C-alpha cells in the first residue's frame, strides 16, 4: 500500500476505552506540538463519533476531525490488535484505527496525499491488512 | 414404475415402431417382465374399448393399431392414458380434459357416457359442464354439439387448433427441457421429442436461433398439427381459403418449412396439404429470428411506417424525446414478424406481461393506447396486450438510456475521511450515479447554492437544515442496507420517467 508522509504508527499496549485512547493520543501529539489544545481535538473526535459511527471494516475504524488546534495534518495507524477496543454500542471490537487529524489550513498537496491514502482503504482487505502485524518503525508511539 | 407409467411408456415405445415388436423386446426396454407387458396391453385395450388399440399377431408380436384413430369412436391415445389417473380432477380440470378430447377429434363425436366414464359425475353435472364448455368455446367461434348421446365440437380448424393450444397451455415453458414438468395436460413424450428435434434441426440448418417464446409457439403448432391429423386425418386440415398470404417469401424459410413438413409427414404417416406448409412458414416468419434479419432482403415499408408511428406517438404521450435512431432498427425487426402474427392469428404469449405492467406502467399504457390507434390506422386485427408488452420493453430501454443520470454529492465532516472512502465505494457499486463533488459539511454549508443541481446527497453524518435535497445517511462500511436505501431513492427519483 502506498504510504503517506503524514503517517505515524501507534501501538496500544494496554486496555483502553475509546475516549482514553483519543485522550492519550492527543496528549502525546500535544507534547510534540502537533496539537495545541489536546482536549479540543478530543472533543472534536468524540463529536464526530456521536454523529455517526466511523467503522470502515468490521474491525477497523476511521475516527477523524479537522480543527484549528491541529497544526500538522496526521494519519495515525493505531494498532490495538493485542488490546481490542470496544467501539460502539453494538459491541464491535476494533483492532486498528486510521485516525485522521486534519489541520484547518492544511495545504492542498497534503490533503491530496491523505485523500489518495484514504481511497485505498475502500478495499476492506487493504484496510484490514494494515493491522495484521505489529508496527516496527523506529518512531512508533507506544501507549 | 407405477402402472400408469408402464402404460404410457409402452404406448410411447409402440408408437416408435414401424412394425410388430415382440413382448420380450418390450419387456427388456421397459425393464419389466413379459407378463407385465401383456397385463399392460390388456389393461390399455380394456380402458380404450373396441377396436383394440394394441393388436397382437401370433409369431410376430404386438403392434399399435394406427387405423384405430380414424375410427368414429377413436380418440387420442395420450388422453386414454391420462384417464387412468384422472379420477380426482377438479371441475375445471375435468372440463379441460373433456374439451381437449373433443377438440382433438373434432368434428367427430364421442359418446358422452364414454367421455365421462372415469369422472363418476351425474347427468346434471354433465349438463352444467356442457353450458360452461359452450361459453368457453364461444370465444373461439366454436360450439359444442349434442346429438342424442354423442357430443362433438364444430367450427373452424384454425379455431380448433387455437383452442387446443390455449388448453394445452405451455405458459411458463421457456425451455423445452421443462415441458413435462410445467405442462398441465398429458403430452406424448415421443411426439414431444420429435417436435423438439425438428425445431433444433431447423435452427441448425438455417444457422439461426428461434428465440423464446416463438420456439414454444412453433412447438405447440406442430405438436397439435400432428395430433389433429393422427386423430381425424384430412378432416383436420386447414381449408385452402385459410392459407396465409405473405407476398414476399424468404426462400430459406420457405425451404425450411418444406423440409419440416416432409419430416412431419414421414413421422406421422400423413399427407400435409400446401396450406400446412404455408402455415409453418408463417410461424417461422413470425418468429423474431436472430441472425436472419441481416439476410432478409427487403423490410416491408409497412413495418417501417408502423414502427415509426409507435416511436412518434409513444414519445408524444410520454412527453419524452425518444431518439428514433436507437430504437427504430430493433422495433422494425419486432414489428415485421408481429404483423405476420397478427394477420395469421398467431398468439405470442408474453411471460413478462405482469412484470412489465408493474415496472413500466406509464410506458405500457402509452404503448397500449398507440397499439389501438395503429390497429385502426393500418386496418390490423386487434393488437393483443402481450404484443404491446413486448413493444414496451423497447421503449423502456430507450427511456432508461435517454434519461439524464442522477447527480450526487458525497459529504462527511471533513470531506477527506469517510466521504473519500464512499466515493470509491459508490463508484464501484452504483456506477450509474454521477458524483459531482466530495465535500466537508462546512464546504457544503458555505457553497450550498453551487450544489443546487444535485439530485441527492450521500453523507456519513446527518446534514441539519437541508430540506430541499434528499440526504441519505450511510455508514462508511457502505453495507448492503446502505446500498438498498440509495437504490430506493434512485428508483423513486427515476420514477418520473416510468
List, for residues A104-115, the tens digit of each pLDDT value: 888 888 888 899
User: Do B261 and B280 form a contact (C-beta atoms < 8 A)?
Assistant: yes
Give the integer Cα–Cα distance in Å for A55 and A53: 6
Q: Which residues of B touch A52 (CB under 8 A)?
A: 460-462, 473, 475
Are B182 and B227 in a shared domain?
yes
pLDDT at B173: 57
Are B288 and B314 in a shared domain?
no
Measured distance between the N- and C-terminal CA atoms of chain A, rounded to whole angstroms: 25
Low-confidence residues in chain B, pLDDT < 70: 1-6, 16, 66-89, 169-185, 240-249, 288-299, 402-403, 494-498
Collapsed DSSP state (helix, strand, coil) of residue A135? coil
User: Is residue A98 pLDDT above 90, yes or no?
Assistant: yes
pLDDT at B298: 58
Q: Is residue B97 part of a domain?
A: yes
pLDDT at B2: 42
Collapsed DSSP state (helix, strand, coil) of residue A132? coil
User: Do A75 and A117 form a contact (C-beta atoms < 8 A)?
Assistant: yes
B460 touches chain A (CB under 8 A): yes
Are B279 and B265 in a shared domain?
yes
Fold classification of A7-142 is: Mannitol-specific EII; Chain A (3.40.930)
Q: Structural domain tally of chain B?
A: 5
Q: Is residue B70 part of a domain?
A: no
Q: Do A65 and B440 touch (CB under 8 A)?
A: no
Q: Which three cell numbers stand for residue A118?
A: 484514504
Calculate how close chain A gets to B400, using CA atoms only, in Å. Answer: 29
Q: A-contacting residues of B 389-418, CB under 8 Å? A: 413-414, 416-418
pTM of the model: 0.45
User: Do B427 and B435 form a contact (C-beta atoms < 8 A)?
Assistant: yes
Distance (Å) of CA B11 to CA B5, B22, B37, B65, B181: 10, 14, 11, 11, 20
Q: Is residue B69 part of a domain?
A: no
pLDDT at A64: 93
Are B267 and B343 in a shared domain?
no
Q: Is residue B465 part of a domain?
A: yes
Nearest Cα to Cα of residue B250 among B217, B280, B218: B280
A126 touches chain B (CB under 8 A): no
Beta-carbon count within 10 A of B164 CB: 22
Q: Which three cell numbers stand for residue B269?
A: 404417416
pLDDT at B88: 45
Q: B-contacting residues of A 13-72, CB under 8 Å? A: 48, 51-58, 62, 64-66
For residue B464, the domain's CATH number is 3.40.50
Domain boundaries, position B461? 407-497
Are B145 and B251 in a shared domain?
no
Tens of pLDDT, residues A21-33: 999 999 999 999 9
Percent of chain A residues topping a pLDDT of 90: 60
Are B317 and B282 in a shared domain?
no
Give domain limits for chain A. 7-142
Nearest Cα to Cα of residue B215 among B241, B240, B197, B239: B197
Residue B310: left if φ>0, alpha if ψ -120 to 50, beta else—which one? alpha
Q: How many helices (H) and strands (E) does chain A have?
A: 4, 8
Are B398 and B411 in a shared domain?
no
User: Do B433 and B408 form a contact (C-beta atoms < 8 A)?
Assistant: yes
Torsion of CA B311, B313, B318, B322, to 10 degrees: 30
Give the integer Cα–Cα distance in Å for A129 and A96: 10
Q: Is residue B71 part of a domain?
A: no
Are B429 and B489 in a shared domain?
yes
Ordered alpha helix ranges (H), B169-300: 179-182, 189-206, 214-232, 251-268, 274-286
Nearest Cα to Cα of residue B218 among B235, B200, B234: B200
Are B58 and B82 in a shared domain?
no
Give ipTM to 2 decimals. 0.88
Nearest Cα to Cα of residue B426 among B405, B442, B447: B405
For residue B19, the domain's CATH number is 1.10.10.10
User: Do B457 and B409 form a contact (C-beta atoms < 8 A)?
Assistant: yes
pLDDT at B84: 44
Give the integer Cα–Cα distance in Å for B266 and B226: 11
Q: Is residue B126 part of a domain?
A: yes
User: Do A92 and B442 form a contact (C-beta atoms < 8 A)?
Assistant: no
Q: Among B295, B311, B341, give the residue marking a domain's end.
A: B295
Give the integer Cα–Cα distance in Å for A25 and A38: 9
User: Do B281 and B257 form a contact (C-beta atoms < 8 A)?
Assistant: yes
Beta-carbon count within 10 A of B239 CB: 11
Query: Across chain A, what does the average pLDDT equal?
Result: 89
Beta-carbon count within 10 A of A81 CB: 15
Q: Do B477 and A102 touch (CB under 8 A)?
A: no
Are B289 and B262 in a shared domain?
yes
User: Is residue A16 pLDDT above 80, yes or no?
Assistant: yes
Are B280 and B187 in a shared domain?
yes
Q: Is residue B72 part of a domain?
A: no
Q: Do A64 and B423 touch (CB under 8 A)?
A: no
Give the integer Cα–Cα distance in Å for B458 and B277: 62
Are B203 and B258 in a shared domain?
yes
Q: Among B402, B418, B433, give the residue marking a domain's end.
A: B402
Amino acid at each position: 500500500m502506498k504510504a503517506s508522509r503524514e503517517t505515524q504508527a501507534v501501538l496500544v499496549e494496554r486496555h483502553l476505552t475509546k475516549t482514553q485512547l483519543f485522550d492519550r493520543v492527543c496528549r502525546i501529539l500535544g507534547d510534540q506540538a502537533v496539537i495545541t489544545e489536546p482536549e479540543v481535538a478530543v472533543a472534536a473526535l468524540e463529536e464526530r463519533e456521536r454523529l455517526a459511527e466511523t467503522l470502515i471494516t468490521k474491525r477497523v475504524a476511521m475516527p477523524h476531525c479537522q480543527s484549528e488546534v491541529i497544526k500538522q495534518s496526521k494519519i495515525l495507524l493505531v494498532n490495538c490488535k493485542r488490546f481490542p477496543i470496544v467501539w460502539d454500542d453494538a459491541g464491535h471490537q476494533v483492532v486498528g484505527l486510521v485516525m485522521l487529524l486534519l489541520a484547518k489550513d492544511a495545504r492542498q498537496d497534503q490533503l491530496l496525499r491523505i485523500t489518495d491514502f484514504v481511497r485505498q482503504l475502500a478495499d476492506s482487505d487493504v484496510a484490514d491488512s494494515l493491522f495484521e502485524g505489529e508496527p516496527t518503525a523506529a518512531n512508533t508511539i507506544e501507549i | 414404475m407405477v402402472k400408469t407409467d408402464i402404460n404410457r411408456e409402452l404406448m410411447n415405445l409402440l408408437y416408435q415402431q414401424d412394425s410388430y415388436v415382440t413382448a420380450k423386446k418390450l419387456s427388456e426396454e421397459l425393464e419389466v417382465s413379459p407378463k407385465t407387458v401383456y397385463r399392460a396391453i390388456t389393461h390399455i385395450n380394456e380402458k380404450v374399448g373396441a377396436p383394440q388399440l394394441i393388436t397382437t399377431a401370433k409369431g410376430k408380436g404386438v403392434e399399435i393399431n394406427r387405423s384405430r384413430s380414424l375410427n368414429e369412436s377413436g380418440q387420442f391415445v395420450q388422453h386414454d392414458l391420462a384417464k387412468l389417473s384422472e379420477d380426482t380432477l377438479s371441475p375445471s380440470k375435468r372440463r379441460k380434459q373433456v374439451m381437449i378430447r373433443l377438440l382433438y377429434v373434432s368434428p367427430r363425436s364421442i359418446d358422452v357416457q364414454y367421455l365421462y366414464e372415469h369422472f363418476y359425475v351425474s347427468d346434471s353435472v354433465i349438463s352444467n359442464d356442457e353450458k360452461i364448455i359452450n361459453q368457453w368455446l364461444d370465444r373461439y367461434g366454436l360450439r359444442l354439439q349434442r346429438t342424442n348421446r354423442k357430443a362433438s365440437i364444430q367450427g373452424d380448424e384454425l379455431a380448433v387448433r387455437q383452442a387446443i393450444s390455449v388448453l394445452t397451455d405451455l405458459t411458463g415453458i421457456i425451455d423445452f427441457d421443462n415441458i413435462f414438468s410445467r405442462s398441465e395436460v398429458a403430452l406424448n413424450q415421443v411426439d414431444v421429442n420429435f417436435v423438439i428435434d425438428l425445431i433444433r434441426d431447423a435452427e441448425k440448418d438455417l444457422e439461426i436461433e428461434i428465440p423464446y417464446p416463438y420456439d414454444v409457439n412453433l412447438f405447440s403448432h406442430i405438436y397439435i398439427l400432428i395430433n389433429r391429423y393422427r386423430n381425424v386425418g384430412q378432416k383436420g386440415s386447414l381449408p385452402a381459403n385459410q392459407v396465409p398470404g405473405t407476398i414476399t417469401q424468404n426462400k430459406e424459410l420457405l425451404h425450411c418449412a418444406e423440409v419440416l413438413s416432409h419430416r412431419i409427414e414421414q413421422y406421422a404417416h400423413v399427407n400435409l396439404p400446401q396450406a400446412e406448409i404455408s402455415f409453418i412458414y408463417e410461424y417461422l416468419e413470425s418468429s423474431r429470428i436472430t441472425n436472419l434479419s441481416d439476410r432478409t432482403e427487403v423490410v416491408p415499408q409497412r413495418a417501417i411506417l408502423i414502427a415509426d408511428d409507435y416511436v412518434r406517438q409513444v414519445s408524444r404521450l410520454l412527453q419524452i424525446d425518444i431518439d428514433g435512431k436507437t430504437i427504430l432498427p430493433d422495433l422494425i425487426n419486432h414489428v415485421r414478424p408481429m404483423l405476420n402474427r397478427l394477420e395469421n392469428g398467431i398468439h405470442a404469449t408474453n411471460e413478462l406481461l405482469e412484470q412489465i405492467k408493474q415496472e413500466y406502467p406509464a410506458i405500457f399504457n402509452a404503448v397500449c393506447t398507440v397499439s389501438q390507434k395503429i390497429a385502426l390506422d393500418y386496418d390490423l386485427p386487434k393488437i393483443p396486450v402481450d404484443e404491446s408488452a413486448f413493444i414496451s420493453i423497447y421503449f423502456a430501454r430507450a427511456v432508461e438510456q435517454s434519461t439524464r443520470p442522477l447527480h450526487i454529492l458525497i459529504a462527511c465532516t471533513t470531506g477527506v475521511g469517510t466521504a473519500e472512502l464512499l466515493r470509491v465505494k459508490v463508484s464501484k457499486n452504483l456506477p450509474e450515479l454521477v458524483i459531482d463533488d466530495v465535500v466537508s459539511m462546512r464546504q457544503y454549508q458555505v457553497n450550498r447554492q453551487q450544489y443546487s443541481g444535485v439530485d441527492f446527497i450521500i453523507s456519513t453524518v446527518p446534514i441539519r437544515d437541508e430540506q430541499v435535497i434528499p440526504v441519505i445517511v450511510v455508514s462508511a462500511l457502505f453495507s448492503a442496507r446502505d446500498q438498498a436505501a440509495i437504490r430506493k431513492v434512485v428508483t423513486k427519483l427515476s420514477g418520473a420517467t416510468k
